[in-house]
């Protein structure tokens, strides 16, 4: 029986081109569906889940997998990711190498795991979210930049963000904590924005969302990220101009416009309500 495979045919990354060539040699395994838009993909995936499909494969980056998570949340349909995007952070998190043959091997031999899903204002994300500087960089990063510069495109956009005034943010958790800062990142796993572990205590199946609240300017934030890269990530035991917390949900308000990103895609502006709508079944090694 062929597995339905959804491929984001609007993606323009170099890896999506390589995946298309790989797929031409492996079409006997899949019933390939190429939606015309994100909304079309969402509707097709919902239809698959409603019809009781045991599994679906989705090829794309973190944003595309986020669409699949939204469609398959709290269903019995298992997601098989194929890392065909720019960063592929979630695939790295669950142990799928940036290799299409390895992803196919996991589909055929892997086990199913329940992964937590969190949401900003009802919009689900799989791996990571941010409010402030990194989200603004995502907002400024165009498809053309990603195609030309790959991951460096975010660095280029980030340099522009460094010249802008950062908003004042207030995070209120459902546990009653109130924290203030200039920039907040959220992790539903250890990795954030690439191959490095930045959330040292995160676990994507424990019902908790990890957050790092940076108190000061963009200059100090860059320094903290460099230190975290050296020391294995941010954690609650390391001091600095940030605070590391774990939460079940909460809300963020902003004095000044604050961009939001979910799984590497721009997602509007604060304020946001953070919830845990459920979980997703996904194939892992």
Phi, psi (rounded to 5 degrees) for 107:
-60, -40
Q: What is the pLDDT of residue 222?
A: 77
**Residue bearing the bigger pLDDT, 63 or 206:** 206
C-alpha 89/C-alpha 126 separation (Å) is 10
C-beta separation of 31 from 2 below 8 A: yes
Tell me what the mean pLDDT of segment 57-69 comes to. 94
- The second-level CATH assignment, the architecture, of 123-278 is Sandwich (2.60)
The pLDDT of residue 94 is above 80: yes
Tell me what the mean pLDDT of segment 58-65 comes to. 92
Q: What is the pLDDT of residue 235?
A: 87
C-alpha 25/C-alpha 21 separation (Å) is 7
Tell me what the mean pLDDT of segment 45-49 comes to. 97
Q: What is the pLDDT of residue 246?
A: 97
Proportion of the chain above pLDDT 70, given as a percent? 97
Structure tokens at 154: 């975010």
How high is the mean pLDDT of the chain?
A: 91
Distances (CA, A) of 193 to 73, 118, 127, 189, 239: 23, 17, 9, 11, 22
**Residue bearing the bigger pLDDT, 13 or 112:** 112
Q: What is the pLDDT of residues 252-285, one digit of tens each?
A: 999 989 999 999 889 999 999 999 999 999 999 9
Comparing 3-116 with 123-278, is the CATH topology the same? Answer: no
Q: Any idea where the domains of the chain sit in the sequence?
A: 3-116, 123-278
Q: Which CATH superfamily includes the segment(s) 3-116?
A: Probable inorganic polyphosphate/atp-NAD kinase; domain 1 (3.40.50.10330)
Residue 10: band (very low, low, confident or very high) from pLDDT cuts 50, 70, 90: low
Q: What is the pLDDT of residue 274?
A: 98
Half-sphere exposure of 170 (CA within 13 A, CB side): 8
Spatial neighbors of 64 by CB under 8 A, at least 6 apart, are 8, 11, 41, 58, 84, 85
Q: What is the pLDDT of residue 13?
A: 60
Q: What is the pLDDT of residues 200-257, one digit of tens each?
A: 999 999 999 999 999 987 777 778 888 888 888 898 887 788 999 999 999 999 998 9
């Amino acid at each position: 029986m062929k597995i339905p495979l959804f491929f984001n045919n609007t993606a323009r990354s170099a890896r999506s081109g390589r995946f298309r060539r790989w797929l031409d040699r492996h079409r006997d395994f899949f019933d390939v569906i190429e939606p015309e838009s994100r909304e079309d993909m969402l509707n097709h995936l919902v239809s698959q889940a409603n019809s009781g499909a045991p599994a679906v494969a989705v090829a794309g980056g973190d944003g595309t997998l986020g669409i699949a998570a939204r469609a398959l949340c709290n269903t019995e349909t298992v997601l098989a990711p194929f890392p065909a995007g720019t960063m592929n952070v979630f695939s790295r998190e669950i142990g799928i190498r940036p290799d299409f043959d390895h992803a196919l091997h996991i589909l055929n031999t892997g086990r199913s795991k329940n992964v937590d899903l969190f949401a900003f204002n009802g919009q689900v994300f799989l791996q990571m979210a941010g409010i402030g500087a990194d989200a603004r960089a995502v907002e400024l990063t165009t498809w053309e930049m990603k195609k030309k510069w790959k991951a460096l495109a975010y660095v280029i956009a980030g340099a522009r963000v460094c010249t802008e005034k950062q908003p004042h943010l207030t995070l209120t958790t459902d546990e009653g904590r109130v924290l203030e800062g200039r920039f907040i990142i959220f992790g539903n796993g250890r990795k954030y924005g690439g191959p490095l572990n930045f959330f040292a205590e995160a676990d994507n199946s424990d019902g908790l969302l990890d957050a790092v609240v940076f108190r000061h300017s963009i200059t100090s934030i860059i320094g903290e990220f460099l230190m975290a890269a050296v020391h294995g990530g941010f954690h609650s035991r390391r001091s600095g101009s940030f605070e590391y917390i774990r939460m079940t949900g909460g809300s963020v308000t902003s004095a000044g416009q604050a961009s939001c990103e979910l799984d590497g895609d721009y997602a509007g502006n604060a304020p946001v309500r953070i919830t845990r709508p459920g979980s997703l079944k996904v194939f892992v090694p």
